Structure 1
Amino acid sequence: MHKISSVIDILKIAPRDIEAESFRIIERELTAQDHPVLTTLTQEEFAVVRRCIHATGDFAFADTMRFHPRAVTAGLTAIRAGKNILVDVNMAAAGISRGLLERFGGRVICRIGEPETADLARAENLTRSEAAFLRASQDNIGIVAIGNAPTALLQAMEMIRTGLFNPDLVIGVPVGFVNAVESKDILADKPYPHITALGRKGGTPVAVASVNALLRLA
């Protein structure tokens, strides 16, 4: 009977309170571990990490996420200036809080599925992710958010190096086994504002959570 009552009590949590309760649990568990993330990050950086843990259920991101010192400031400035957010896959475009972004005048851009992207990829022997980023370079991009394709992250960094692209913030958290670790290690050493998660873990949910955390901070 006690077990049934406990389940009923859990189910009584109002939907609007679930996120706040999740955040409290995350903070409680990190506090119980005396985790250094609680003292080494700014409040804004921690808000990003907390949302990434919430999106994945994985506390590893408390250890692996890295922030350029100007990352959060650059991201918030871009959002408030009405700049656009470029993502590598449609799943990311679907997950970003467009309503919050549109209040500032920005929009989410994803060119991966457009016929012109496929045509350019074939003509230039590129991946579709690389071609999509080339086509979006003139779209008033403030934030780049990459969670799926290491090739897109490498392409973005190369375009920045050659002056073809100048986003305010690069969020690069691709997941996987081929070039994911390497591309994020390269990003972590860049002098411009960035957010990344070292190692194999990452993914579109982490990229989306990072963006949505910034949108809420903005």
Structure 2
Amino acid sequence: MTGLARPPRRYDYVDVGPEIYVDSFATIRREADLSAVPADAEKLAVRMIHGSGQVDLADDLVVHPLLVGSARAALEAGAPMLCDATMVATGVTRARLPQSNDVLCFLNDPRVPSLAREWHTTRTAAAVSLWEPHLDGAVVAIGNAPTALFHLLEMVLDGGPRPAAIVGCPVGFIGAAESKEALASFASEHGIDIPFVTVRGRRGGSAMTSSALNALAQEEE
């Protein structure tokens, strides 16, 4: 009908979508050590590994014991997801959202460039301040910019609204590991206990972060 034709098959590979999906998660469970992950966060860990392609990610995952329950309760109540980057927001499967929740990213807001210049910070960090009217009880996802995670924690320390849960997985070589360590030690150092998931070290990124959001949005794998 379209004039298109599949090229001759020359490689042996699985090309049935549902089979790929099921086999991928079975492979992860077979190869990854999930013993240190809270029981209700197993599917979260599996999806994050799926989003990264690295089964050893499980060794670096840090999951707050109340993360899954807190995030799901917030989403069921209609809370928004706040994302640091459009790639993270785009990766959220809207059909999984329990209340057709808003998925918001303010990185392209026209106010951001001037705020970043005024505050001598990155645009991604400046955009986090625009979350404030939506932040109380929200599910927050930071997958790209360490400066955004530091900025969020500084907002909370300054008395700002507290999210219900934080997915803090910025990627990179400058500040990424340090920002995630600040998140992991936030309760012990400052007495403010916000449920979170993070991955120690330099790894992170949009795919891993949106995978975590999709797992938190719906228990079904």
Compute the TM-score of the two structures, normalised by the length of structure 1.
0.87
State the distance in 2 between where 1:117 and 1:132 align.
6
State the distance in 2 between where 1:23 and 1:51 align.
8
Of residues 53, 63, 66, the one that matches 1:67 is 63
Of Structure 1 and Structure 2, which has the larger fraction of its residues in helix? 1
- In structure 1, the partner of 2:145 is 149
State the distance in 2 between where 1:183 and 1:157 align.
9
- In structure 2, the partner of 1:55 is 51
Matched, 1:93 2:95: no
- In structure 1, the partner of 2:185 is 189
Please say if residues 44 and 217 of structure 1, whose CA atoms lie closer than 8 Å, have aligned partners that are also in contact: no
- In structure 2, the partner of 1:104 is 99
Please say if residues 113 and 123 of structure 2, whose CA atoms lie closer than 8 Å, have aligned partners that are also in contact: yes
State the distance in 1 between where 2:180 and 2:36 align.
21
Shift, 1:17, TM fit: 2.7
* One-letter amino acid of the structure 2 residue matched with residue 15 of structure 1: G
Over the residues paired in the alignment, what is the CA RMSD in angstroms?
Answer: 1.9
- In structure 1, the partner of 2:157 is 161
| Structure 1 stretches of 4+ moved >6 Å | none
Taking only the aligned residue pairs, the percentage that are identical comes to 34
Shift, 1:54, TM fit: 0.9
- SS of 1:60's partner is helix
- In structure 1, the partner of 2:115 is 120
State the distance in 2 between where 1:188 and 1:47 align.
21
* One-letter amino acid of the structure 1 residue matched with residue 133 of structure 2: Q
Cα deviation, 1:132-185, whole Å, max 9, x if unaligned, reads 110111125511111100000001111111121210011111111101011111
- SS of 1:78's partner is helix
State the distance in 1 between where 2:115 and 2:61 align.
34
- In structure 2, the partner of 1:211 is 213
Q: How many residues align?
A: 205
Where do residues 33-52 of structure 1 align in structure 2 (5 Å cutoff)?
Answer: 35=33, 37=34, 39-52=35-48
- SS of 2:81's partner is strand
- In structure 2, the partner of 1:129 is 124
State the distance in 2 between where 1:22 and 1:175 align.
24
Gaps of 5+ in 1: none
- In structure 2, the partner of 1:20 is 22
Compute the TM-score of the two structures, normalised by the length of structure 2.
0.86
Shift, 1:198, TM fit: 0.2
Please say if residues 38 and 63 of structure 2, whose CA atoms lie closer than 8 Å, have aligned partners that are also in contact: no
State the distance in 1 between where 2:67 and 2:80 align.
16
State the distance in 2 between where 1:123 and 1:164 align.
20
